[in-house]
Structure 1
């Protein structure tokens, strides 16, 4: 029994270290941007079917979720439930959502300009971007962990290609 607890704590510390490393190399707000697509998928479950169909999460900035609502009535209903929704979203995503800001506007998701591979529809960052990111993180890893450094560099380049300017 003791072995299991010790092992699980060790793994937990390992995850904490990886999380701290990711926070140190990814741009500020990366976690929020990466969580937004999943939040949009689950929005009807979170906000309820009726309000979910009449609104759309647009962005998360410094703990504030910006939501567009189709009508003033939907905006008012979301504003009244803002505290409950913020807690629900925080529990679901692990992000610290402090409040919601609701505006009346378009609720169809605007297509993002992203670099897609014609063959698979995947984002492929340029090799030089991966190499540049590798140089940024190489000193943080031992030579035995070179593969981990390369994977992190690839993730960083992917993020920068997916969210340019952040």
Structure 2
């Protein structure tokens, strides 16, 4: 939203991006993240473990944790898929819609130097988004029973970095 306002509503940026709006946007993201994580943690707390207690991963990710559990994890796999789809793909769609509007504004700029500056402003952010969302989708959007833990670790490392 900040990039959209900065590029498409340049003269109104200070009037739109006030402290109160920024606080509301950050608060909404925190509340949504906390709510979704809390629901998921309740489901995770019901897992039982009866075998090895070492996770061969960089952090306590879902799929290695599910594989260590001796309880039925079908509900958790489904909840994980729905949660990841909602959070990752939903936020990716919002970002892509805003970038389509940004690119539309950039392409209609009268000066070539203005277009070049606007593209330069967005290119690093767009590259970062491609790396983060690409690794998230590679890590979480495929059936995780079929993915080896080593592949999962490599992609998780890319995502973390």
Pairwise same-fold verdict (TM > 0.5): no
Q: Which has the higher contact order (CA 8 A, sep 6+)?
A: 2
Q: TM-score, normalised by structure 1?
A: 0.28
Q: TM-score, normalised by structure 2?
A: 0.28
Q: Which has the higher helix share?
A: 2
